[in-house]
């Protein structure tokens, strides 16, 4: 660990440690400045900045979950501990900062190396767990006393020169090839740092803010109801939904519910028969809409049929009898009955206050897409554990249209919903 004033060369110290480690392994890194000037994006397993607290938390979880409890395989390099802790404070329920402090505390037992750089105040809770400390010059002699730097130490003479504790040995920071050396610091000679990203490297990629569903995106998917929703997860790759039991999209107005349904509908195979309530009865204004649905459902036995309902709460207010009919369809779809599949959206408040009927049945039996997962009522609306939902939510983009979490089979996957092919960047998301 390194403690120093901002001008003392702390950042080069942290990055030099990362580059030195990358010569032999693929190391995770937490970098408050997102610096990749030395090729760290190629050489390190994961580089994540303070603008992505969700990925920070995920990295900390995975480091602990994949720890060897023996030989050190992972080195976590933290540039500007204070900036990282402030970013983690944005994570709901205060779980973020504690994850980092706990990882540093347990690093030796887990078989994880930690190299952290920051101001003395930010590193205070981590100092008792550090085997070695490189203390650079500070602007306050009294702070030097607290850190164990003798007042007569020549470490004050130039940036990058410090005292290695315990032992009070002088140490000069060595910057990796391509890195910016502080004034007076020496740059090592020798071959450039090798690119090393092994097959078992812990790599978490950022999820893009905008995703477009390209023509042919469904090609190669098995079955007419396996649909691409967008991109997400640790690899920021395509996220597919098995809609055999339906899909429920939950979110506040403006979160992208309609776009999510449009994207899922666009992925349906040509042989699937798709209908909306507007097509079957003027969106609930028809007095015998349930009867019209029953006739349609029985009309083409053996064919895959999908009913798309946007703003489900509006339809249920107009035709309350739909609730039991559609809920029964979801129950029967679970056991393989020949019934239409529902792709439906509902507002967060309505979903949070509903405990029976079609919304409750979809929430129980089908994949659930929670948009705006940090919005009030989202945990209750989704039926998920708060810890699972909030850990996958993105606190940096709480109101970004299409940003959400896919809940299915006990897993929570962060996702950015794609826009259907042909929609422009200015298309409205409801």
The predicted pLDDT at position 98 comes to 85
Task: Give the pLDDT score at 249.
Answer: 98
Residue 401 predicted with pLDDT over 60: yes
Task: Enumerate the β-bridge partners of residue 171.
Answer: 162
Tell me: the pLDDT tens digits for 78-135?
Answer: 988 999 999 998 887 777 788 898 999 999 899 998 989 888 888 888 888 888 888 8
pLDDT top residue among 71 and 316 = 316
Q: Residue 34: what pLDDT?
A: 40
How high is the pLDDT of residue 176?
58
Question: Quick check: 270 pLDDT over 70?
Answer: yes
Report how far residue 211's alpha carbon sits from residue 234's, in angstroms, rounded to the nearest whole number.
16
Report helix, strand or coil for 99: helix
* Burial classification of residue 107, based on how many CB atoms lie within 10 Å of its CB (0-12 exposed, 13-18 middle, 19 or more buried): buried
Average pLDDT, the chain: 80
pLDDT at 9 over 90: no
For residue 28, pLDDT beyond 60: no
Neighbours of 380 (CB within 10 A): 16
User: How many alpha carbons fall within 13 Å on the CB side of residue 149?
Assistant: 28
Q: What is the pLDDT of residues 329-342, one digit of tens each?
A: 999 999 999 999 99
The pLDDT score that the predictor gives to residue 128 is 83
pLDDT digits (tens, 9 = 90+) for 199-229: 467 889 999 999 998 766 665 566 789 999 9
Mean pLDDT of 17-24: 44
Residue 161 has pLDDT above 50, yes or no: yes
pLDDT category, 180, cuts 50, 70, 90? Answer: low
Question: What's the confidence (pLDDT) of residue 237?
Answer: 93
Q: What pLDDT does residue 177 have?
A: 57
Longest dimension (CA), the chain: 92
Cα 367-368-372 angle, rounded to 5 deg: 155
Determine the pLDDT at residue 36. Answer: 34
The DSSP output letter for 224 is T
Q: Which residue has the higher pLDDT, 196 or 367?
A: 367
Task: Please compute the mean of the pLDDT values over residues 132-147 and round it to a whole number.
Answer: 74
What interhelical angle do 53-65 and 95-110 show, nearest 10? Answer: 30
DSSP strand pairing (411-417 vs 226-232): antiparallel
Residue 171 binned pLDDT confidence (cut-offs 50, 70, 90): confident
Pick the closest to residue 310 from 339, 348, 277, 288 (CA basis).
277
Give the least confident one: 28-37, 81-90, 103-112, 233-242: 28-37
Predicted confidence at residue 8, as pLDDT, reads 40
Closest CA to 339 of 373, 299, 366, 374: 299
Distance set, CA 93 to CA 88, 97, 151, 371, 416 (Å): 11, 10, 42, 19, 23
- Write down the pLDDT at residue 130: 84
Residue 261: CA count within 13 A, CB half-sphere: 25
Whole-angstrom distance between the N-terminal and C-terminal Cα of the chain? 48
pLDDT tens, residue by residue, 40-54: 444 568 889 999 999
Give percent of the chain with pLDDT exceeding 90. 43
Q: Of the candidates 25, 26, 3, which has an alpha carbon nearest to the alpha carbon of residue 13?
A: 3
pLDDT in tens, 313-365: 999 998 899 999 999 999 999 999 999 999 999 999 999 999 999 999 999 99
**For residue 200, what pLDDT is reported?**
66
What distance in Å separates the CA atoms of residue 359 and residue 62, rounded to the nearest whole number? 33
């Amino acid at each position: 660990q390194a403690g120093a004033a901002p001008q003392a060369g702390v950042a080069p110290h942290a990055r030099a440690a990362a580059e030195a480690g990358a010569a032999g392994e693929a190391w995770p890194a937490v970098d408050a400045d997102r610096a990749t000037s030395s090729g760290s994006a190629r050489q390190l397993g994961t580089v994540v900045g303070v603008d992505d607290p969700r990925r920070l938390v995920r990295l900390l979880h995975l480091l602990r979950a994949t720890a060897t409890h023996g030989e050190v395989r992972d080195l976590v390099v933290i540039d500007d501990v204070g900036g990282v802790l402030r970013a983690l404070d944005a994570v709901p329920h205060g779980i973020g900062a504690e994850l980092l402090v706990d990882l540093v505390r347990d690093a030796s037992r887990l078989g994880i190396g930690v190299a952290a750089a920051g101001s003395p105040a930010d590193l205070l809770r981590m100092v008792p767990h550090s085997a070695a400390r490189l203390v650079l010059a500070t602007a306050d002699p009294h702070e030097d006393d607290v850190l164990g730097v003798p007042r007569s130490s020549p470490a004050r003479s130039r940036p990058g020169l410090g005292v290695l504790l315990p032992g009070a040995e002088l140490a000069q920071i060595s910057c990796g090839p391509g890195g910016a050396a502080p004034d007076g610091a020496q740059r090592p000679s020798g071959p450039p740092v090798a690119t090393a990203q092994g097959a078992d490297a812990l790599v978490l990629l950022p999820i893009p803010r905008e995703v477009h569903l390209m023509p042919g995106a469904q090609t190669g998917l098995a079955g007419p109801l396996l649909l691409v929703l967008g991109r997400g997860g640790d690899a920021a790759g395509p996220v597919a939904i098995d809609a055999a039991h339906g899909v429920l999209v939950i979110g506040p107005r403006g979160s992208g519910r309609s776009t999510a349904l449009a994207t899922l509908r666009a992925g349906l195979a040509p042989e699937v028969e798709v209908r909306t309530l507007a097509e079957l009865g003027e969106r609930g204004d028809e007095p015998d809409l349930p009867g019209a649905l029953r006739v349609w459902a029985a009309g083409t036995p053996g064919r895959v049929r999908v009913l798309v309902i946007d703003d489900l709460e509006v339809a249920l207010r107009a035709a309350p009898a739909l609730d039991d009919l559609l809920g029964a369809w979801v129950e029967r779809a679970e056991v393989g009955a020949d019934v239409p599949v529902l792709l439906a959206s509902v507002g967060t408040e309505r979903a949070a206050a509903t405990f029976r009927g079609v919304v409750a049945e979809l929430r129980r039996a089908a994949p659930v897409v929670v948009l705006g997962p940090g919005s009030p009522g989202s945990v209750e609306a989704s039926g998920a554990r708060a810890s699972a939902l909030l850990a996958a939510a993105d606190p940096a983009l709480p109101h970004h249209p299409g940003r959400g979490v896919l809940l299915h089979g006990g897993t929570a996957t962060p996702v950015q919903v794609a826009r259907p092919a042909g929609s422009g960047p200015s298309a409205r998301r409801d």
